[in-house]
């Protein structure tokens, strides 16, 4: 079998059934997108004009007034927070992330204060923000959001993620209403979201996406929203955004990836996964069914329940053996404590699902001996 580039560097082959995760390189970039990236890397350009033009092109896809390309979604959070605090004022931009004496509080739901591989609070603090949590971990009320707004408030932050608590949280409409009432910018972290229009249309001022997740772009992100606040984001290039700058090639790669994305995406349906689920359920000690994404996106996965009393191994042990094999197979492991892990088909290449089933059979057979 032909080795991939990472195997030639002495690293394991990886089968990614986990999803578009940073720990596995996020996504697989299409050859035509990489061709555009390579062409951009080999030529010179006026960067400021590229920043403006790429933002214009991104806005065609989001429907926003303006957009600004960043190095990733985390950088986008930091830059958007800094934009809300400084409002683009050069003297304040130069002070970041020291926001002493400025309105610097960022109000968010406690159930949205997540860790996506790093605490979201770290990105907020990088932008000079001070987090103010609202509500309880599993319940929040509109009055709590309203009462948290003070003269020290710089922005409201709404996080849309499978990492968040999915029940008892306020809606985006609640956040829009409170932001408008107090004339504050509303930032939405929509890093892994696939809908380019909904969050801008909701009334948010700065919506942050990862380019490398849903859109299969090279490492990148972008902030899209109202021109006033995007201008304030661009102003951070003279401050904290300098340490987060994105290369010309990845700006171009993002634009071409969005063009490719709009040509139509192949969605793996629940019905298409059924045969594989049945093959896994035929393995002693395993039972598989189909589940939908936790955050309600149109993403379907195979959920595998390990019957430890039958198999002789629990879910943690099975998952560890999958990762520790000659080919490292990564699954979604958030619910191992419940005896369950899942397979995300979006990042599984042709022929790899059969290898996963074969490896599960091997583990089960070895456990029986």
> Is pTM beyond 0.85 here?
yes
Residue-by-residue pLDDT tens, the chain, 369 positions: 678 888 999 999 999 999 888 888 878 898 999 999 999 999 999 999 999 999 999 999 999 999 999 999 999 999 999 999 999 999 999 999 999 999 999 999 999 999 999 999 999 999 999 999 999 999 999 999 999 999 999 999 999 998 899 999 999 999 999 999 999 999 999 999 989 999 999 999 999 999 999 899 999 999 999 999 999 999 999 999 999 999 999 999 999 999 988 655 567 888 899 999 999 999 999 999 999 988 777 889 999 999 999 999 999 999 999 999 999 999 999 999 999 999 999 889 889 999 999 999 999 999 877
Q: Are 205 and 187 in contact (CB under 8 A)?
A: yes
pLDDT of amino acid 267: 74
**pLDDT score recorded for residue 368:** 79
Structural domain spans, the chain:
5-25+267-368, 44-263
Beta-bridge partner residues of 292: 300
Contact 72, 80 (CB under 8 A): no
Q: Which helix (H) or strand (E) holds 330?
A: strand 328-331
286 within 8 A of 360, measured Cβ to Cβ? yes
Q: What angle do CA 126, 223, 231 make, to 5 degrees?
A: 85
Amino acid 266: pLDDT: 62
Which CATH architecture is the domain 44-263 placed in? 3-Layer(aba) Sandwich (3.40)
CATH code: domain 5-25+267-368 is 3.90.1150.180
Show the tokens assigned to 257. Answer: 């990836």
**Cα 145 from Cα 4, distance rounded (Å):** 50
CA 330, CA 88: separation in Å to the nearest integer? 43
Enumerate residues 6+ apart whose C-beta is below 8 A from 313: 285, 306, 321, 363, 367
Look up residue 138 and give its DSSP letter.
S
- What is the predicted pLDDT for the residue at 270? 86
Mind spelling out the 3-state secondary structure of 161-184?
CCCCCCCCCCCHHHHHHHHHHCCC
């Amino acid at each position: 079998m032909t080795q991939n580039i990472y195997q030639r560097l002495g690293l394991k082959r990886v089968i990614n059934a986990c999803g578009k995760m940073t720990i596995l390189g996020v996504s697989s970039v299409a050859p035509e997108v990489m061709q555009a990236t390579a062409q951009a890397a080999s030529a010179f350009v006026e960067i400021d004009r590229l920043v403006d033009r790429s933002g214009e092109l991104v806005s065609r896809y989001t429907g926003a007034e303006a957009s600004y390309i960043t190095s990733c979604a985390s950088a986008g959070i930091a830059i958007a927070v800094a934009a809300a605090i400084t409002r683009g004022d050069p003297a304040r931009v130069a002070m970041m992330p020291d926001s002493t004496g400025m309105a610097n509080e960022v109000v968010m739901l406690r159930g949205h204060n997540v860790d996506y591989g790093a605490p979201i609070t770290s990105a907020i603090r990088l932008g000079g923000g001070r987090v103010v949590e609202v509500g309880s971990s599993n319940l929040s009320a509109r009055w709590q959001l309203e009462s948290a707004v003070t003269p020290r408030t710089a922005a409201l932050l709404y996080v849309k993620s499978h990492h968040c608590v999915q029940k008892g949280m306020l809606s985006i409409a609640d956040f829009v209403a409170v932001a408008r009432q107090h004339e504050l910018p509303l930032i939405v972290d929509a890093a892994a979201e696939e809908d380019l229009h909904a969050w801008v249309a909701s009334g948010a001022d700065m919506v942050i996406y990862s380019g490398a997740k849903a859109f299969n772009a090279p490492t990148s992100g972008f902030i899209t929203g109202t021109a006033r606040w995007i201008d304030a984001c661009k102003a951070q290039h003279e401050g904290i955004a300098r340490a987060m700058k994105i290369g010309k090639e990845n700006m171009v790669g993002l634009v071409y990836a969005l063009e490719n994305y709009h040509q139509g995406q192949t969605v793996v349906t629940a019905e298409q996964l059924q045969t594989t689920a049945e093959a896994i359920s035929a393995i002693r000690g395993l039972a598989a069914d189909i589940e939908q994404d936790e955050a309600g996106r149109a993403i379907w996965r195979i959920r595998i329940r390990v019957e430890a009393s039958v198999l002789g191994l629990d879910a943690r042990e099975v998952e560890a053996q999958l990762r520790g094999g000659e080919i490292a197979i990564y699954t979604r492991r958030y619910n191992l404590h419940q005896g369950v892990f899942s397979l995300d088909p979006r990042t599984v290449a042709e022929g790899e699902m059969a290898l996963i089933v074969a490896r599960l059979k091997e583990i089960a057979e070895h456990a029986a001996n």
